[in-house]
Chain A
Amino acid sequence: MTDSSAKTLQDLLSGKGIEQVDVWVGKYPEERKRAAIIPIMSIVQEEYGYLTQELMDAVADYLTCPKIAAYEVATFYSMFRLKKAGKYVISLCTNVSCMLAGSGDIQKWFKDELGIEPGETTEDGVFTLKEVECMAACGGAPMLEVDKKYHENLDVDKVANLIRELK
């Protein structure tokens, strides 16, 4: 088993993506460039929506680190996705503050109205629900994040409105 046939990160990413990657790689000394693995995976995920084994392998090779190290990082951090996600990824906080403020009702709403539980995607492929830990917005609990935008002080109606708008 040799990996001569494997695609490199340059093959897989757009020119702009590689440019961004190299900015991050350049921040670290050459022999410690694997430190850039998290931002690079984020860039890759931005382009592809999720991380496949091929993409993780390519990242590992690009940073000359063992492939298993890339898998470890990708499976450890909840912001990395290993499966195809919906058009909108909704990160619902269920940590203490949000839980006390009613995140359970919101989670139930997703189940009742959209038929998805945390980790699942709607059948039409539009929404993915993720259960996340505290996102440092306890003052606005309960909260959720869609893509990179926070939505705070929620209740079930507000969530319903938000979803309608997104649709």
Chain B
Amino acid sequence: MVSVEIDGKKVEAEQGSMIIEVADANGITIPRFCYHKKLSIAANCRMCLVEVDGVKKPLPACATPISDGMVVKTQSDFAQQSQKSVMEFLLINHPLDCPICDQGGECELQDVALEYGNDVSRFSEKKRAVVDEDLGPLIETEMTRCIHCTRCVRFGREVAGIRELGAVGRGEHMEISTFIEQSVDSEVSGNIIDLCPVGALTAKPSRYQARSWEMAQRDSVSPHDCIGANLHVHTLRNRVIRVVPKDNEAVNEVWLADRDRYSYEALEKSERLLKPMLKHNGEWKEVDWETALERTASKLNMTVQTDGAEQVAAIAHPSSTTEEMYLLQKVMRGLGSNNIDHRLRVTDFDWQKFEPLHPELGVDLSDLENLDACLLIGANLRKEQPLASLRVRKATRYGDIASISLYPVYHNFDLKHEIITDAETWLGQLAGITKYLYQHQNDSAKAQWADAMDLEGLEKLLEPITIRDEHREIAEMLLKGEKSSIILGASALEFSYAGHIRLLAKAIANLSGSSYGFFPMGGNSVGAYLAGAIPHRGPAGADVEQDGQHAKDLFEHGKQAYVLLKTEPGKESVIADKARESLENADFVVSMTCHADDEAFEYADVILPVASFLETSGSYVNVNGAWQDFAAAVNAPGEAKPAWKVLRVLGNLLNLKNFDYVSAEDVRKEVKGRLSAVGDRIKPKWQCPESLPRDGFSPRPTNMYQIDGWLRRAPSLQDTALAKGREILKRPRLSPFHNIVGGV
């Protein structure tokens, strides 16, 4: 620690930090354009010039490390004069089109110009004009406004791991460009809009929709993956205009994936269902809520009475809120049925009774970037949890990543070891690593695991396995790493022997001293487990008398009545065709949906309009078990109601007990109350598989913009190369010099 003085204030700071960091930490504002705390230092805008005692020239605060006893003046005449001169230079070419610029009102250049700019420019030369780029459907450009801070270029190189934009030409002719006609296809591309300090890059879907000062800001949470990215939702007159990230270092840092940012479009741009609909003699007609819900209640009651409660099934999309899932399971269990599930894409349920209380990652999201070693199994993080992928990319600064997958995956980070295997030998590959680790443990280390693991069984299982070089290398990598982690992704969880993969992965984790976990599918699978939207456990892991049937069984052995919550199984289920067939053959299907073009119109009997994720209050629990609750940002259109309210009324109509909630918070309190009583009742168990079958199969992965109803209906996202599968897959390796901030 050294002590410096900034603007007369004595402060202590870490040796080696830059003046601007110290100033920021102490609430002293220094104007800047190119500096960004998450990007490397470029020092090319020169806006942050300050005066340092004993130095004759002004110094850029972003690139000047502090030293003991340094006296910095950010407001002295000398500093201000320097800053004003830089501002004058920046404004030589920057157009004064603020009135028609979308950035107007929230523009860093505008703000700084107000303070440091002159009223009249001394330059009468023509301003330069730059031909615009077409960067695709998400990002609008006005490159004449660009001040060449290169934040967007550095973001691609350092954070996203794909260089699409560059600085082409030099001097007066320098332009930020893709050079060839090409869209920006990164799955996190929208972040360059936030980074751009001027109006050169703005959000295309919300262009000219509202002025920044007119909008209200509400907070929410993204439902598209289990990271639970924090959102600022900007609204105007009950319309969502745009979504921007809310800083949360523990979750999304300052970033958002494009699907978190642009999925709001579906709220208005899709055909919304505005009234409850009832099928009467094969014709759909609009009815009031009372009629629709009474029909639903009486049909469900009737099915229970004539066919038994086990003929009623409920499927919730994993992006439903915890409260909705809790009430849905409460309705189902009130009817006497445990047939409730949200795991639409799981095919292997054999080991579910050994699962922990809820899916978990085993390592904090924010710690992903500090891993020394990480083995990814069947994970395509960039497509599944884009923000986690950015963290893992940071881990490659000092750590090593290995991957075992069924098909080539183009990560945005370098892999130390990679095995591309097939469904037949996948388990064998994991067993090879397990065996190497097992053989290299001494007896005392083994004894440590004797209680938790069936070592004899394991030894027998591994007997016929040959250890190959790549198994040894990966195992050594994990052993070497102080902080190491085994992480399973979607294709491991969707695999028909997912249970085997999980057991072997857990064995590898135990034997190598690594943490173990996985990214469950959907935004709120953790919440679903806690709320009891699973057939084998009630809320908070409560025992159930008899296990209900899981999602796959519910569709494979058709049921008489289905309750669907925000899901279109014909598009989302891993056995989509079979699901659709069962729904068509069912006697009664009720679907709670947001969309008037829901596939439910083909097979349902009652369709209830519910509020979307930005129109309801509720909570999501992320993969680290963090509860994040939110209120509605806007009201639902038409007669659509938040699903928790619909389920509450349904519970009352079915004469079920304790359905008198006043708010989503009441429901949440009830779930949390039950959780406080869990204790250590639920203990995950490790069971040795008896064999390593070779007849596994893996379903085709879903496109990252197809996983839920909102994404499927967000027009701009659907227009991207990623949605159309036309992205350039192969990513060239980036220079090891400076491709990641803080890298060596």
Chain A residues in the interface with B (C-beta under 8 A): 1-3, 31-32, 34, 53, 60-61, 64-69, 71-72, 75-76
Q: Are B169 and A68 in contact (CB under 8 A)?
A: no
- Residues on the A chain within 8 Å of B728, using CB: 1-3
Q: Are A68 and B163 in contact (CB under 8 A)?
A: yes
- Residues on the B chain within 8 Å of A61, using CB: 732
Q: Are B166 and A72 in contact (CB under 8 A)?
A: yes
Task: Let me know if B683 is at the binding interface, CB within 8 A.
Answer: no
The stretch among B537-545, B690-698, B733-741 that forms the contact with chain A is: B733-741
> CA–CA, A1 to B181, complex, Å?
13
Q: How far is the CB of B346 from chain A (nearest CB, A)?
A: 32
Q: Are B736 and A68 in contact (CB under 8 A)?
A: no
Decide yes or no: A53 and B180 within 8 Å by CB, A1-B727, A66-B734, A75-B169 being known contacts. yes
Q: Are B178 and A68 in contact (CB under 8 A)?
A: yes
Query: Can you name the residue of chain A whose Cβ is closest to the Cβ of B170?
Result: A76
Query: Can you name the residue of chain B whose Cβ is closest to the Cβ of A71?
Result: B179
B170 in complex: contacting residue of A1, A34, A75, CB < 8 Å: A75
> CA–CA, A26 to B168, complex, Å?
28
Query: Can you name the residue of chain B whose Cβ is closest to the Cβ of A61?
Result: B732
Query: Can you name the residue of chain A whose Cβ is closest to the Cβ of B180?
Result: A53
Q: Are B163 and A66 in contact (CB under 8 A)?
A: yes
3 closest Cβ pairs, A-B complex: A68-B166, A66-B163, A71-B179
Jot down 10 A-B pairs with beta carbons below 8 A, ordered by A. Answer: A1-B728, A3-B728, A66-B734, A67-B180, A68-B178, A69-B735, A71-B166, A71-B179, A72-B167, A76-B169
Q: How far is the CB of A5 from chain B (nearest CB, A)?
A: 13
> CA–CA, A119 to B292, complex, Å?
75
Decide yes or no: A72 and B168 within 8 Å by CB, A1-B728, A65-B732, A66-B163 being known contacts. yes
Q: How far is the CB of A24 from chain B (nearest CB, A)?
A: 17
> CA–CA, A40 to B163, complex, Å?
21
Task: Let me know if B273 is at the binding interface, CB within 8 A.
Answer: no
Q: How far is the CB of B50 from chain A (nearest CB, A)?
A: 30
Task: Let me know if B129 is at the binding interface, CB within 8 A.
Answer: no
- Residues on the B chain within 8 Å of A34, using CB: 735
* Chain B contacts with A in 152-186, Cβ cutoff 8 A: 162-170, 178-180
Decide yes or no: A1 and B726 within 8 Å by CB, A68-B178, A71-B168 being known contacts. yes
* Chain B contacts with A in 687-744, Cβ cutoff 8 A: 721, 726-730, 732-737
- Residues on the B chain within 8 Å of A32, using CB: 735-737
Q: How far is the CB of A131 from chain B (nearest CB, A)?
A: 13
Q: How far is the CB of A11 from chain B (nearest CB, A)?
A: 18
Q: How far is the CB of A38 from chain B (nearest CB, A)?
A: 14
Chain B residues in the interface with A (C-beta under 8 A): 162-170, 178-180, 721, 726-730, 732-737
Query: Can you name the residue of chain B whose Cβ is closest to the Cβ of A72?
Result: B166
Q: How far is the CB of B168 from chain A (nearest CB, A)?
A: 5
- Residues on the B chain within 8 Å of A69, using CB: 163, 166, 735
> Looking at chain A's contact residues, is the secondary structure mostly helix, strand, loop, or mixed?
helix
> CA–CA, A53 to B178, complex, Å?
12
Q: Are A65 and B735 in contact (CB under 8 A)?
A: yes
- Residues on the B chain within 8 Å of A68, using CB: 163-166, 178-179
> CA–CA, A78 to B26, complex, Å?
45
- Residues on the A chain within 8 Å of B164, using CB: 66, 68
> CA–CA, A75 to B737, complex, Å?
22
Q: Are A71 and B733 in contact (CB under 8 A)?
A: no
Interface centre among A32, A67, A68, A72 (most CB of B within 10 A): A68
> CA–CA, A67 to B165, complex, Å?
10
- Residues on the B chain within 8 Å of A71, using CB: 166, 168, 179-180
- Residues on the A chain within 8 Å of B166, using CB: 66, 68-69, 71-72
- Residues on the A chain within 8 Å of B730, using CB: 2-3
Q: How far is the CB of B534 from chain A (nearest CB, A)?
A: 41
Q: How far is the CB of B570 from chain A (nearest CB, A)?
A: 30
> CA–CA, A76 to B174, complex, Å?
8
- Residues on the A chain within 8 Å of B165, using CB: 68
- Residues on the A chain within 8 Å of B170, using CB: 75-76
> CA–CA, A69 to B733, complex, Å?
12
- Residues on the A chain within 8 Å of B168, using CB: 71-72, 75-76
> CA–CA, A2 to B170, complex, Å?
30
Q: How far is the CB of A99 from chain B (nearest CB, A)?
A: 18
Decide yes or no: A64 and B732 within 8 Å by CB, A69-B163, A72-B166 being known contacts. yes
Query: Can you name the residue of chain A whose Cβ is closest to the Cβ of B179?
Result: A71
- Residues on the B chain within 8 Å of A64, using CB: 732-733
Q: How far is the CB of B256 from chain A (nearest CB, A)?
A: 23
> CA–CA, A158 to B732, complex, Å?
50
Query: Can you name the residue of chain B whose Cβ is closest to the Cβ of A56?
Result: B179
Interface centre among B165, B727, B732, B733 (most CB of A within 10 A): B732
- Residues on the B chain within 8 Å of A3, using CB: 728, 730
Q: How far is the CB of B153 from chain A (nearest CB, A)?
A: 9
Interface centre among A1, A31, A34, A72 (most CB of B within 10 A): A72
> CA–CA, A68 to B180, complex, Å?
9
Q: How far is the CB of A157 from chain B (nearest CB, A)?
A: 33
> CA–CA, A31 to B737, complex, Å?
10
> CA–CA, A68 to B726, complex, Å?
19
> CA–CA, A31 to B165, complex, Å?
22
Q: How far is the CB of B738 from chain A (nearest CB, A)?
A: 12
Q: How far is the CB of A49 from chain B (nearest CB, A)?
A: 20
> CA–CA, A76 to B533, complex, Å?
59
- Residues on the B chain within 8 Å of A76, using CB: 168-170
- Residues on the B chain within 8 Å of A72, using CB: 166-168, 179
Interface centre among B165, B167, B721 (most CB of A within 10 A): B167
Q: How far is the CB of A51 from chain B (nearest CB, A)?
A: 12
Q: How far is the CB of A1 from chain B (nearest CB, A)?
A: 5
Query: Can you name the residue of chain A whose Cβ is closest to the Cβ of B726?
Result: A1
> CA–CA, A32 to B738, complex, Å?
12
> CA–CA, A76 to B167, complex, Å?
9
Interface centre among A31, A66, A69 (most CB of B within 10 A): A66
Q: How far is the CB of A55 from chain B (nearest CB, A)?
A: 13
Q: How far is the CB of B186 from chain A (nearest CB, A)?
A: 12
Query: Can you name the residue of chain B whose Cβ is closest to the Cβ of A63?
Result: B732
Q: Are A66 and B732 in contact (CB under 8 A)?
A: yes
Q: Are B163 and A2 in contact (CB under 8 A)?
A: no
> CA–CA, A123 to B737, complex, Å?
45
> CA–CA, A117 to B232, complex, Å?
54
> CA–CA, A21 to B733, complex, Å?
20
- Residues on the A chain within 8 Å of B734, using CB: 65-66
> CA–CA, A69 to B168, complex, Å?
9
- Residues on the B chain within 8 Å of A65, using CB: 732-735
Query: Can you name the residue of chain A whose Cβ is closest to the Cβ of B721?
Result: A1
Q: How far is the CB of B343 from chain A (nearest CB, A)?
A: 34
> CA–CA, A34 to B739, complex, Å?
13
> CA–CA, A76 to B179, complex, Å?
12
Other A-B contacts than A66-B164, A66-B166, A75-B168, 10 sampled, CB-CB below 8 A, are: A2-B730, A3-B730, A64-B733, A65-B732, A65-B735, A66-B732, A67-B732, A68-B179, A76-B168, A76-B170
Query: Can you name the residue of chain B whose Cβ is closest to the Cβ of A65?
Result: B732
- Residues on the A chain within 8 Å of B721, using CB: 1
Query: Can you name the residue of chain A whose Cβ is closest to the Cβ of B729?
Result: A2
> CA–CA, A101 to B506, complex, Å?
79
Query: Can you name the residue of chain A whose Cβ is closest to the Cβ of B166?
Result: A68
- Residues on the A chain within 8 Å of B169, using CB: 75-76
> CA–CA, A65 to B167, complex, Å?
15
- Residues on the A chain within 8 Å of B163, using CB: 66, 68-69
Query: Can you name the residue of chain B whose Cβ is closest to the Cβ of A31?
Result: B736
> CA–CA, A32 to B180, complex, Å?
25
Q: How far is the CB of B699 from chain A (nearest CB, A)?
A: 24
